[in-house]
Amino acid sequence: MLLAVDIGNTTVALAGLRGDVPAFVIRLPSDCGRDAAAWTNTLRQRLEGEGVDPREADGAVLSSVVPALTRPVTAALASLTGRTPLVVGRTTPTGLDLGGYDAFHLGMDRVVDCVAALARYGGPVAVFDMGTATTLSAADKNGVFLGGMILPGLALSLEALSAKAAQLPPITLTPPEGLMGTDTVSCMKHGALYGAAGAIEGIVRRLERTYGPLTVVLTGGNSTLVRPLLEISTAWEPNLTFLGLAEIWRRNQC
């Protein structure tokens, strides 16, 4: 079993992979107040709850977009497994050619997503990862990273509306009923979800005018709400980041 960790702005997700199949996924809040010892204890307890002895893992691989969490979680994985985890960074051989992209501030989650999508579907691909932010990452048929976009995530957009507009309340997203809202809450929900779907459709149309037909892959927690509203063909891979981490780990084994 391979332990794969995706550190995001909202959650730290740990998967136990047998091949490319997650045996389990553990999600914890991205708490920067925990030190390495606290992460070690928490992860040990959660792994024990899954019946997993981390000392028997084949290894561990990690990607992070929260620098403050990278070191303590990496130290926790090393302590639990007795192995040095592979931390995916700018110098890690991933198989993805970054071309002329300025990679200094490139989130490794976007690289990992593209590696997984290319391995699964070939190129060209466009990956929409709908988490705290909605990121677009695209690669061509030769595995060259083309770039992408970063949009406010659904929750962030709604939080901004509620914070800045006195008569707009905080809401919880659920699947929309019909096309139009009939009260303030449903109007906000429909606007957020159909707005996100319309943005993806419009971006894909423009991408295909420039790069030709491509495979569109959706991932991230909010993709489950938006994908049914899309009028374009997409692949849905809820475990895309874990698949990419496993692919990169395999490529870096001696």
Q: Is the pLDDT of residue 212 over 90?
A: yes
- CB 7 within 8 Å of CB 65: yes
Annotation marks residue 129 as catalytic: no
Q: Is 147 left (phi over 0), alpha (psi -120 to 50) or beta?
A: left
Beta strand spans in 70-112 (E)? 86-87
The predicted pLDDT at position 254 comes to 64
- CB 98 within 8 Å of CB 225: no
Residue 112: is it exposed, middle or buried by C-beta count within 10 angstroms (0-12/13-18/19+)?
buried
In the predicted model, what is the mean pLDDT of residues 201-211? 96
In angstroms, the CA 132 to CA 65 distance is 11
Beta strand spans in 153-211 (E)? none
In angstroms, the CA 80 to CA 98 distance is 33
Which is the catalytic residue, given 6, 102, 109, 113? Answer: 109
pLDDT tens, 104-141?
888 899 999 999 999 999 989 999 999 889 999 999 99
The predicted pLDDT at position 163 comes to 84
Domains annotated on the chain, with CATH: 2-87 (3.30.420.40), 103-245 (3.30.420.40)
Helices 36-49, 67-81: crossing angle, 10 deg rounding? 60
The predicted pLDDT at position 238 comes to 93
